[in-house]
A and B are shown apart, each in its own frame.
Chain A
Amino acid sequence: MSTNKKKPYGTAAITGALSIASYIVLFSNIDSVMDYFTKGGYYAAFPIMTALYFSFIHGTFASSVISLIGLEPAKSGH
């Protein structure tokens, strides 16, 4: 019954802190962020890269939280 897998406490703490910090930095400077991100043309890289950045950091955070609350994929296949 017991899982041998180590719980990802460290990953959750680091990515969680990074994710929250990134959200705070971005939203506290939202006026200039919106200004640059909506200029179009080559500035398109800003929203795309930001979305990718958050998907890695926040995605890893979400994954570790899900694992920490005990939700793991089924062991027996269906």
Chain B
Amino acid sequence: MKKIIFLVVAALMFFGMASSAFAAGGPPSDVKKGVFTELDASERTVVFEPEDGGEAVTLKLGEEVIPEDIELNKKVMVSMGHEGEEEVITSASVMFLGMTMDKVIALLIVGLIGGLLSGFIGSGGAFVLTPAMMSLGAPGAVAVASNMCHKFPKAMVGSYKRYRYGQVDLKLGLVMAVTAIIGVQIGVRVQKMILNTWGPAGSDLYVSIAFVVILITVGTYVFWDAWRLSKKGAEIETPKLAKAMQKIKIPPMMNFPKAGVRLSFWVTVPVGLATGMLAATIAVGGFIGVPGMIYVIGATAMVASATELLIAFIMGLWGSIQWAISGLVDIRLTLLILAASLFGVQLGALGTTYVKDYTIKVVMGAVMLIVMVSRGAKIPIYMNELGLASVSEGSQSILEAVSFWALVAALATAGGIITVAMIKGIIKDRAKDDEAGKEAVGAKA
């Protein structure tokens, strides 16, 4: 019976992935890709050659587009809109940024620390990698696509490592991934509905509020729990909510051996859905997935963060296929980040074998709260754009700087805590090993 349920879930997941890969999802479908071949700045017109081999057309630039920003003979992404009756270009961005040595170094550093964080807490990296790529000049859609395409191989390597350390609950990961994929679809639809009703600023405001509300509540709780456990000296404790959930006996009941729990499949559904919805909204589903697996399902932070990597791999692969079908993956960005993050993710995974369970919660809580500050700083800016508040330009640039540096602080804090915890753990482990060696020699003598 158990095997049948497992097979059904696996088949459902495969079907879901295959069908959703071609469904309308994350990638924008209303943009044109091609090359500008001529520009008439005085008339504000450009000759545009579409990539799909269609005939070159003359298009008018919208009011927001500055002719000096138009670059000829480079692959561009063009969004169209209406000004009165006329169809005009509302935005045009060069799809693939010029690569310089400082950009390469920046990508390698962010990749390494982002990888370290992913390997350790099961997620993270996306919240800083996507904005980092955008600040280097990549259009938003290309940054999201390239990050996604680097995420799934990184998560695959990380989950394999942590599986070898005996921390991944394969069954829990697969079950959660199915519902998370459905959650992504719901999240995307909610996003589209908001975008259609309130426009881009409304959508940004919604994302920021979702970020702040979720991160402040979940992040504070995770942090408080870690602090409480470290004070108490207790390493692991099954949360009350998880105990209550385990009493629900609605079939099908499932055993999750590595997580050490037996519970109804239906308990995993809301956690998976919320993970997917958050992934579609703020790109870091793990900020719900990992606490969900700890506090609702009852897994340890060690198993939850390791299992999250498996979920990230499945969801990342599915998302990458979608974005790659749209032709938006900049493989240079993907591979440069991967060059460093494959080291980072394995170091992070290794680090988990040296730390106590609550250390993972400390890192996760700290990162969530600092990222919350970063996103929260942007709320007044979006409110200003929507006309809900008035924020001066000077204050706006201060808020932008706060937002950016908070992300840098989140990475630095996470990198710092993980490295220190790991070094301490290694020293302790080696001292124990030495002692054991001496005792063995003593016994022989």
Contacts and interface: CB of A to CB of B under 8 A. Distances in A.
Q: Which of B152, B154, B346 has the most CB of A within 10 A?
A: B346
Given A41-B325, A43-B327, A66 B429 contact: no
A47 B317 CA distance: 11
A73 to B, nearest CB: 4
A77 B343 CA distance: 23
B214 interface: no
A25 to B, nearest CB: 12
Interface in A1-44: 1, 23, 26-27, 30, 33-34, 37-41, 43-44
A1 B221 CA distance: 41
B347 A71 contact: yes
A50 to B, nearest CB: 6
A62 to B, nearest CB: 4
B207 interface: no
A68 interface: no
A40 B145 CA distance: 12
Contact-residue bracket for chain A: 35 or more
A34 B95 CA distance: 11
B361 interface: no
Contacts of A66: 343, 346-347, 350
A60 to B, nearest CB: 9
B356 interface: yes
Interface in B328-345: 328-332, 334-335, 338-339, 342-343
Contacts of A30: 332
B206 interface: no
A40 to B, nearest CB: 3
A27 B332 contact: yes
Contacts, number: 123
B353 interface: yes
Given A40-B326, A66-B350, A48 B321 contact: yes
Nearest to B158: A59
B332 A38 contact: no
Contacts of B96: 34, 38
A40 B327 contact: yes
Contacts of A78: 235, 353-357, 425
B328 A38 contact: yes
A59 B429 contact: no
B429 A48 contact: no
A55 B433 contact: no
B326 A37 contact: no
Contact of B331 (A47, A59, A74): A47
B339 A47 contact: no
Given A40-B327, A51-B152, A74-B429, A26 B354 contact: no
**For B75, B326, B342, B355, which residue has the most chain A Cβ atoms within 10 angstroms?**
B342
B156 interface: yes
Given A34-B332, A44-B325, 6 more contacts: A34-B96, A39-B327, A48-B317, A48-B320, A73-B350, A75-B433
25 contacts: A26-B335, A34-B330, A37-B331, A38-B96, A38-B329, A40-B326, A40-B328, A47-B331, A48-B317, A48-B320, A48-B324, A50-B335, A51-B334, A52-B153, A52-B156, A55-B154, A62-B342, A62-B346, A73-B165, A73-B350, A76-B429, A78-B235, A78-B355, A78-B356, A78-B357
Interface of A: 1, 23, 26-27, 30, 33-34, 37-41, 43-48, 50-52, 54-55, 58-59, 62-63, 65-66, 71-78
